[in-house]
A = this chain, B = another copy of it.
Amino acid sequence: MNAALEFFANEGYDATSTSKIAKHAEVSEGLIFRHFGNKKGLLDAIYMQAEDRVKQLFGPILFCTDPLEVITRILDLPASLEEDQYDFWKLQFKLKWEVEYNNPDKMKPVLHKLSWAFSELGYEFPEREAKLLNTLLEALFLGILREGLLSQVDNIDYLKIKYKIKEIPVKAD
């Protein structure tokens, strides 16, 4: 699965042959089919980890009781991704184009929590603000996965200022 993930994420599912995966994983090609039934089964097995990983990533945030902390931690998430997980998330984002693998509901609890947070903070349109931030969050993830963490620190920083998490620096721009 690790070998497959690496290739699926970087070269694409269709561009990756089962033989390449088997060779890289140093197992026989037949074993892949014994375990996962077929190539798609292997992809699915990888994809299935998503729910867990999303929970792992966002779960703690759902228990925050301080609204500002919720937003802070949400904004800190993209930068907190460890590089050895990049491939996994890359693949998730690539798969999102296929309806079968695009499940917007996965983010519902987060969306809900954000809504609550903005509501607590007295925002006029907490749900809208939540949705917007959620949309933005995806863009931040994408940016980091594609072009590296550095490409998004500006945005994250600025968002923290906007959400009044961070003091406006005395001199900037």
Assuming A14-B15, A15-B14, A139-B139, is B90 touching A158 (CB within 8 A)?
no
Assuming A15-B14, A139-B138, is B126 touching A173 (CB within 8 A)?
yes
Chain A 136-152: CB-based contact to B (< 8 A → 1; otherwise 0)? 10111011001100001
Which chain B residue lies CB-closest to A157? B128
Chain A 89-129: CB-based contact to B (< 8 A → 1; otherwise 0)? 01000101100001010000000000000000000111111
| Cβ of A25 under 8 Å from chain B | no
- Copies per complex of this chain: 4
Write out the residue numbers on chain B whose beta carbons fall within 8 Å of the beta carbon of A142: 138-139, 142
User: Is A124 within 8 A of B155, CB to CB?
Assistant: no
User: Is B172 within 8 A of A125, CB to CB?
Assistant: yes
| Cβ of A165 under 8 Å from chain B | no
User: Is B104 within 8 A of A147, CB to CB?
Assistant: yes
Enumerate chain A interface residues (CB-CB to B < 8 A). Answer: 12-15, 90, 94, 96-97, 102, 104, 124-129, 131-132, 135-136, 138-140, 142-143, 146-147, 152, 154-155, 157-159, 161, 168, 172-173
Task: Give 6 A-B pairs besides A135-B152, A136-B139, A138-B142 with Cβ atoms closer than 8 angstroms.
Answer: A12-B12, A90-B97, A128-B173, A129-B158, A131-B155, A139-B139
Shortest distance from the beta carbon of A106 to any chain B beta carbon, whole Å: 13
Q: Which has the most chain B C-beta neighbours within 10 Å: A127, A128, A168?
A: A128
